[in-house]
Amino acid sequence: MFSLRGCGLCVAASLSKKHLPLARFIGDSAAPVAANFDVVVIGGGHAGAEAAAAAARCGSRTLLLTHRVDTIGQMSCNPSFGGIGKGHLMREVDALDGLCSRICDQSGVHYKVLNRRKGPAVWGLRAQIDRKLYKQNMQKEILNTPLLTVQEGAVEDLVLTEPEPEHTGKCRVSGVVLGPTFVPTFLSSHSQFSSLQALRASYFILIADGSTVHAESVVLTTGTFLRGVIVIGLETHPAGRLGDQPSIGLAQTLEKLGFVVGRLKTGTPPRIAKESVNFSILNKQTPDNPSIPFSFINETVWIKPEDQLPCYLTHTNPRVDEIVLENLHLNSHIKETTRGPRYCPSIESKVLRFPNRLHQVWLEPEGMDSDLIYPQGLSVTLPAELQEKMITCIKGLEKAKMIQPGYGVQYDYLDPRQITPSLETHLVQRLFFAGQINGTTGYEEAAAQGVIAGINASLRVKRKPPFVVSRTEGYIGVLIDDLTTLGTNEPYRMFTSRAEFRLSLRPDNADSRLTFRGYKEVGCVSQQRYERASWMKSSLEEGISVLKSIEFSSSKWKKLIPEASISIGKSLPLRALDVLKYEEVDMKLLAKAIPEPLKKYIKCRELAERLKIEATYESVLFHQQQQINEVQQDEALQLPKDLDYLTLRDVSLSYEVREKLHFSRPETIGAASRIPGVTPAAIINLLRFVKTTQQRQMAMNELPKANQSLCDTESLEERQL
């Protein structure tokens, strides 16, 4: 059996500590230097890294507290980023100048856009990522971010003080207490798991204890570490991730504060030695040529398509089903299924729910010089010996050597209806949650929340209004609105089917949706990115109006572009924009037919492509925009934040509705109407209440008008209600 306690997952330890700039990093032996920060981010996973960097970009002095600096940027599960829906989130994170898209453009080993034939609104930018490179590049980025300090340590408790009277919440967080933390020393600078023996080694040193760090805002991104338990077969071990200690003290603190806690589970497949796989008999998938970068500010990725690595596809077979079914009694992760997710995260659930089928297994490279293969689709929690037995009955894996077993993780999450759309908790002022702690799964979902939490933690310190992305503006908005109004009881993953305004919220236009807001309202966007987005916006607008102005008869178009299937019968003249809607027509073809004035629009590949996309969706977008406006009207109707729904006497509401509103604390009429169980009648009553409150407020605000000095930021904010 495996000894799991402290078996570090640093498959290839990337940066040894001596390479880190000392000014940025407070090492294990040093006591905390400046114990005073604007924003403290707890956790160095994908949410934490984005949150810390975003807060720092906004100008806040930020501390990133993590168990181990060398796990910053660690991809604990799949060696890939993006996909359908998730790629959308990454483009939005990038539009706010987040990190993950840029890091992926420097670290990928296989770039492929999914859904190429299904329409640009649902293209899924995706890449296999080199774990080692990603971690290196992410750590380099984090450790070179101005205003951002990184410290190793575990948070044991939160420092709480009196609440600010002008905000809701029963107390305010003002710092964190560091607990004693043991971190494993590095086995060697390049400790790879060449044998299972290596897993057993564990050495710990004590790094910090009992000291307090003062913070104006705190962002909690503890991932699966809150009372995390790892499960293989019938064995369970407390751990947040294979090799890392769970956070138990913090979980207790949160529960004591009154947060409603739930439990979720997730899993990861075993890792296989690359040289033991017979790829020659499997289907090979090659990357795109050219590679499409994730970031708006990159024209290309770091690696040429011909140097990229392939992926391979294999399938399970009836023998796999047999092994799973015969050994269910040895599988506590599966046995304990009380309320599993509706989808199939593990091979066990696939076999149980869809028997007698062949399931796909993608064999993905873990990196350029990695010896490991990640079998995506084979997440499993059987005892390790049985995992190996199962693997070897799969085509191409007959002689496969398992290097690390798959395992399940069970962990606490906090019901996300306890946070606002800015990700601040209702209960504790200035405390923000992001990532898996809110019940999501996936790097991209975590990164998206991280950016928003980091931005808002910083804005809160500056006493500025929160930065909220509406579900009409982005997948980030859909994600956060779903979480905060509906909650979740399975790990929440993004799908494009969740977005009502899918044709408007496309990967290509994330910059025009979010970059300007990020630059103007928040200041989290660099000048360079802002200028690039501005240029693109004006070029698109100009291009569209030029395309609208060029009009010919259909017969003339047919002569100009014989490739297009234009029917000549139409008597009305056609605009160039209409011709561009034809599937077989692109800007290149149009510019060839009408070089003046169109040729200047094909100089930039992205511009030409985006013009084509705008043309494709032009007519539908017009209708969608009307729907968006209606939703936004509802969202403009704000509900007072300090409303006590349980005792409110002026509004006639059923007790059930009161409880629901009390728990979710919707910020707008729009959000309230999306809460299941809140009836239209209740909405009417609320609306009436909001109207009268507004009128009363307006009347009250008439008075201090004479005395302008009274109108500070706070009262202005209130008036906006």
Partner 1 sequence: MWRVLWTLVARAARGPRSPRSCTRQGSGAPAPGSGATIFALSSGQGRCGIAVIRTSGPSSGHALRSLTAPRDLPPARSACLRLLSHPRSGEPLDHALVLWFPGPQSFTGEDCAEFHVHGGPAVVSGVLQALETEAQRRQALRQLDGELGHLCHGWAKTLTKALAHVEAYIDFGEDDNLEEGVLEQADSQVRELELALSAHLRDARRGQRLRSGAHVVVAGPPNAGKSSLVNVLSRKPVSIVSPEPGTTRDVLETPVDLAGFPALLSDTAGLREGVGPVEQEGVRRARERLEQADLILAVLDASDLGSPSSCNFLDTVVAPPGAGSPSENSRRLLLVLNKSDLLPPGGPDPRPDLPPHLLLSCLTGEGLDGLLEALRKELAEVCGDPSTGPPLLTRARHQHHLQGCLDALRHYKQTKDLALAAEALRLARGHLGRITGGGGTEEVLDIIFRDFCVGK
- Would you tell me which residues interact with partner 1 (CB under 8 A)? 78, 83-85, 114-115, 117-122, 124, 341-345, 350, 353-354, 357-360, 376-377, 379, 471-472, 493, 495-498, 500-503, 583, 616-617, 620, 627, 630-631, 633-634, 637, 652, 654, 669-670, 672-684, 687-688
CB closer to partner 1 out of 61 and 350: 350
Instruction: Check the CA dihedral 309-87-618-604 and report its sign.
Output: negative
* CA torsion through residues 324, 326, 331, 334, sign: positive
The CA–CA distances, whole Å, from 122 to 92, 111, 291, 292, 476 equal 14, 17, 17, 15, 15
User: Can you tell me the distance from the alpha carbon of 348 to that of 382, in angstroms, rounded to the nearest whole number?
Assistant: 9
Q: How far is the CB of 486 from partner 1 (least distance, A)?
A: 8
Q: Are 40 and 219 in contact (CB under 8 A)?
A: yes
For the chain, state the CA radius of gyration. Answer: 27
Q: Which is nearer to partner 1, 549 or 679 (CB)?
A: 679
Beta carbon nearer to partner 1, 115 or 526:
115
Q: Sheet of 108-114: strands edge to edge? A: 80-82, 124-129, 108-114
Classified as helix, coil or strand, 193 is: coil
Closer Cβ to partner 1, 471 or 665, answer by number = 471
In terms of CB distance, is 20 or 352 closer to partner 1? 352
Q: How far is the CB of 546 from partner 1 (least distance, A)?
A: 24
Helix-helix angle 86-95:100-107, to 10 degrees = 110
Minimum CB separation from partner 1 for residue 125, in Å? Answer: 12
Write the CB contacts of 239 (distance below 8 Å, at least 6 apart in sequence). 4, 5, 228, 229, 230, 245, 246, 409
- Considering the complex, what minimum distance in angstroms separates the CB of residue 114 from partner 1? 5
- Pick the closest to residue 591 from 612, 573, 570 (CA basis): 612
Rounded to whole angstroms, how far apart are CA atoms 477 and 471? 4
**Which residue, 306 or 583, has its beta carbon nearer to partner 1?**
583
CA–CA–CA angle 45, 48, 53 (5° rounding): 125
Q: Which is nearer to partner 1, 151 or 496 (CB)?
A: 496
Q: What is the nearest approach in angstroms of partner 1 to the Cβ of residue 387?
A: 17
CB of 89 to partner 1, least distance (A): 14
Backbone angles phi, psi at 602, to 5 degrees: -105, 5
Question: Is the CB of 273 or the CB of 352 nearer to partner 1?
Answer: 352
Work out how close the CB of 277 gets to partner 1 at its nearest, in angstroms, rounded to a whole number: 19
Q: Find the shortest distance in angstroms from Cβ 534 to partner 1.
A: 27
What minimum distance in Å lies between the beta carbon of 376 and partner 1? 6
Name the amino acid, one letter, at 687.
L
Residues ≥6 apart with Cβ < 8 Å to 717: 465
Those residues with Cβ within 8 angstroms of residue 278's Cβ, 6 or more apart along the chain or in another chain? 396, 397, 398, 399
The DSSP call for residue 434 is -
DSSP designation for 408: E
**φ/ψ (deg, to 5) at 507:** -60, -35
For β-strands 171-179 and 62-66, DSSP reports them as: unpaired
Q: Which residues pair with 402 in a beta bridge?
A: 272
CB-nearer residue toward partner 1: 604 or 683: 683
Q: Tell me whether residue 457 or residue 615 sits nearer to partner 1 (CB atom).
A: 615
Closest to partner 1 by CB, 123 or 259: 123
User: Closer to partner 1 at the Cβ: 456 or 472?
Assistant: 472
Q: Least CB distance from residue 198 to partner 1, whole Å?
A: 27
CB 103 within 8 A of CB 137: yes
Rounded to a whole number of angstroms, the minimum distance from the CB of residue 191 to partner 1 is 28
Q: Are 440 and 446 in contact (CB under 8 A)?
A: yes
Amino acid found at 9: L
CB of 701 to partner 1, least distance (A): 23
418, burial (CB in 10 Å: exposed 0-12, middle 13-18, buried 19+): buried
Listed residue (268, 388, 256, 401) closest to 323, CA to CA: 388
Q: Which is nearer to partner 1, 357 or 559 (CB)?
A: 357
Tell me the closest approach of the beta carbon of residue 495 to partner 1, in angstroms. Answer: 4
